[in-house]
Structure 1
Amino acid sequence: MTQSYKQTPLQDREMKNAMLRGFKRICPNCGEGDMFDSYLHVADRCPACAEDLSQHRADDGPAYLTILIVGHLLAPLMIWVFTEFRPSAMTMAILFSVSTVALSLYLLPRLKGVVVGIQWSKGMHGFGQPG
């Protein structure tokens, strides 16, 4: 049983829903199909509703947002851990290196989905054109 979806008119696109769906890595139009073919490659079309997602231009935005968020979360935590527990330098290096990589790998595709969702909701880069 396949449902047919139409392209959502530009004036009816809610940015909050599109951003949330992007964070979940699903299509901003229907909320069902996967937005990504692989880890960071956005699918050309949604497998569920056939929405054209190839128009996106996320570029470096998701990477900058990832650095901003990871830095703002882990820098105060690093200072707190050091002042409270005084672990060795090797323990700090291992703990925060692993944390930084893990959090970055988790956030990067989700923030790319958010950026694509914003572009879709605002009709940027051809997302608002019919067909």
Structure 2
Amino acid sequence: MSETDRPMPPAIWRGFRRLCPNCGEGRMMRGYLKVRDECPQCGEALHHHRADDGPPYLTLLIVGHIVGPLMLWAYIRYEPSPLVFIVVFGAMSVLMSLWFLPRLKGAIVAVQWAARMHGFGGRAA
């Protein structure tokens, strides 16, 4: 089996969009974070994934690196009241985390698929 039959960049992009890393057409997720056992379009088995703590870790890393500097900038520039500061940046952090979490889970599952990790070693359907 060749390494080029599962190129990483397109797989990651498909996974980030929560699509099957194999065909790019079927929905990878059955719910908000629940990965389907197999793709409804091409039948690729997806139950092998082991995303575990990766998506929350990456979500915190990305959101923290965006919100942290924005908090510093807003505090220096506008000196908001503590209540406004907490509400605005708390809501921003929660909304960004909710948006990133399923997308990063899809990307991690796609990386595992493309690298043939955790049982994804079989031939694509």
TM-score bracket, shorter-length normalisation: over 0.9
SS in structure 2 of the partner of residue 83 of structure 1: helix
Q: Which consecutive unaligned segments of at least 5 residues does structure 1 have?
A: 1-7
Whether the aligned pair in 2 keeps the contact of 1:36 and 1:42 (CA below 8 Å) is: yes
Match of 1:38 in 2: 31
Spell out, residue by residue over 1:3-34, the C-alpha distance to the aligned partner (whole angstroms, 9 max, x if none): xxxxx975411100010000000000000000
Match of 1:4 in 2: none
CA distance in 1 between counterparts of 2:43 and 2:6 reads: 17
The two structures, once aligned, show a CA RMSD in angstroms of 1.4
- How much has 1:129 moved relative to structure 2? 2.0
| Runs (4+) off by over 2 Å | 8-11
CA distance in 1 between counterparts of 2:31 and 2:2 reads: 28
CA distance in 2 between counterparts of 1:29 and 1:9 reads: 15
1:114 and 2:107 are equivalent in the alignment? yes
Please tell me the residue identity of whatever aligns with 1:19: I
Match of 1:75 in 2: 68
Q: Which consecutive unaligned segments of at least 5 residues does structure 2 have?
A: none
> Identity over the aligned pairs, expressed in percent?
52
CA distance in 2 between counterparts of 1:9 and 1:20 reads: 21
CA distance in 1 between counterparts of 2:3 and 2:119 reads: 11
The TM-score normalised by the length of structure 1 is 0.91
Spell out, residue by residue over 1:46-91, the C-alpha distance to the aligned partner (whole angstroms, 9 max, x if none): 0000000000000000000000000000000000000001110000
Please tell me the residue identity of whatever aligns with 2:57: Y
Whether the aligned pair in 2 keeps the contact of 1:35 and 1:113 (CA below 8 Å) is: yes
CA distance in 1 between counterparts of 2:83 and 2:109 reads: 39
Describe the shift of the 1:10–1:127 C-alpha distance in structure 2 as closer, same or farther (beyond 3 A).
Answer: farther
Please tell me the residue identity of whatever aligns with 1:56: H
Whether the aligned pair in 2 keeps the contact of 1:10 and 1:123 (CA below 8 Å) is: no
CA distance in 1 between counterparts of 2:22 and 2:2 reads: 10
CA distance in 1 between counterparts of 2:20 and 2:28 reads: 5
